[in-house]
Amino acid sequence: MEVIIPITVLGSLGLLFGLGLAVASKRFCVVVDPKLEKILTCLPGANCGVCGKPGCMAFAQSLIKGEVSLDSCRAIEEKEKEKVAETLGVKLEKKVKQVAVLRCGGGKKVKERFQYNGLQDCIAADMVLRGQKECVYGCLGFGTCAEVCPFDAISMSEEGLPVVDFEKCRACGKCVEICPKGLFALIPVTGRVILACSSHEIGRNTREVCPVGCITCRKCEKVCPVDAIHVVDNLAVIDYNKCTSCGECVKACPTNAIIKV
């Protein structure tokens, strides 16, 4: 009898607590929108914040509320984007995929003005007399862009230059934002010709510090069959709305500043 009483009490308490938990779970349960779950499985999950929201969850919630457009997420793959559009019941406008490119080919070809012993970070180095390189427009080579890339799409070459893997790149723009020299640009993946230089110095000054810089000779301008390249402020500028990636400018460039990627 002495054993039965405590067992009965404990059993009753267990039943009572169980009923309490069941009631609480019903009353305080959070109803998850099935659309939200579908959208989250399509988003990259990088929580990069480029869309203006603190993460993919917040972006998905804002999408459902109509507060943001699907185009705000630059990191999502096209096929996943189509799935999200279908879930939301919206029409998706087809756009050409973009990728990040580096507009510098100097790297170790450019000498250093002084020995920099500070924090191995491009932003920190740029604060010291615009960096250690003789070309003050060029890449400093510390790989800050590679560190912030949420998709592991940037690696550093032996030449001390960032290399973008177009297959991995989602054009999120993190590298564009972080580079203190403004060397990265987002271009259509079909634009296979780039100017790997960002110097606005006159040709003679550029050549003194970098053997592969743009010297504003305008040869690229003259040979382009579609009028897609012009020298502006001592630097060749490519219009990707016109460029057909024919490569004539690549052949004509005497310093190999224009390259095919």
- Which residue among 156, 189, 222 closes a domain? 189
Mark whether 108 and 178 lie in a shared domain: yes
Mark whether 185 and 201 lie in a shared domain: no
- Confidence class of residue 1 from pLDDT cuts 50, 70 and 90? low
Q: What is the pLDDT of residue 99?
A: 95
Is 225 a member of any domain? yes
d(CA 233, CA 240): 18
- Confidence class of residue 14 from pLDDT cuts 50, 70 and 90? low
Is 6 a member of any domain? no
pLDDT tens figures, 15-48: 666 666 655 555 554 546 788 888 888 998 888 8
CB within 8 A of 203, min separation 6: which ones? 214, 215, 216, 217, 234
Q: What is the pLDDT of residue 93?
A: 78
Q: Phi/psi of residue 163, each to 5°? A: -120, 125
* One-character DSSP codes across 11-23: HHHHHHHHHHHHH
Q: What is the pLDDT of residue 20?
A: 62
Asked if pLDDT for residue 12 goes beyond 70, the answer is no
Q: What average pLDDT does the segment 192-204 reach?
A: 96
d(CA 182, CA 257): 17
Mark whether 82 and 118 lie in a shared domain: no
Least confident of 44-53, 113-122, 249-258: 44-53
How far CA 226 is from CA of 52, 60, 177, 243, 248, in Å, comes to: 38, 42, 31, 7, 10
Is 243 a member of any domain? yes
CB within 8 A of 137, min separation 6: which ones? 104, 181, 197, 198, 199, 200, 201
Rg of the chain over CA atoms, in angstroms?
28
Q: What is the pLDDT of residue 119?
A: 96
Mark whether 156 and 199 lie in a shared domain: no
Is 12 a member of any domain? no
Is 202 a member of any domain? yes
Expressed as residue numbers, the domain containing 153 is 97-189
What CATH number corresponds to the domain at position 43? 1.10.15.40
Mark whether 120 and 174 lie in a shared domain: yes
Is 13 a member of any domain? no
Is 24 a member of any domain? no
What CATH number corresponds to the domain at position 161? 3.30.70.20
pLDDT tens figures, 71-93: 888 888 888 888 988 888 888 87
Is 233 a member of any domain? yes
- Which residue among 189, 212, 234 closes a domain? 189
| CB contact at 8 A, 163 and 155 | yes
d(CA 213, CA 233): 14
- Average pLDDT over all residues of the chain: 89
Q: What is the pLDDT of residue 98?
A: 92
Mark whether 185 and 195 lie in a shared domain: no
* One-character DSSP codes across the chain: -TTHHHHHHHHHHHHHHHHHHHHHHHHHPPPPPHHHHHHHHHS------TTSSSSHHHHHHHHHHTSS-GGG-SSS-HHHHHHHHHHHT-PPPP---EEEEE----GGGSPBSS---S-S-HHHHHTTTT-SBSSTTS---S-HHHHH-TT--EEE-TTS-EEE-TTT-----HHHHH-TT--EEEEETT--EEE-----S-HHHHHHH-TTS-----HHHHH-TT--EEEETTEEEE-TTT-----HHHHH-TT--EEE-
Q: What average pLDDT does the segment 231-243 reach?
A: 96
The number of folded domains in the chain is 3
Q: What average pLDDT does the segment 92-105 reach?
A: 90
Mark whether 181 and 196 lie in a shared domain: no
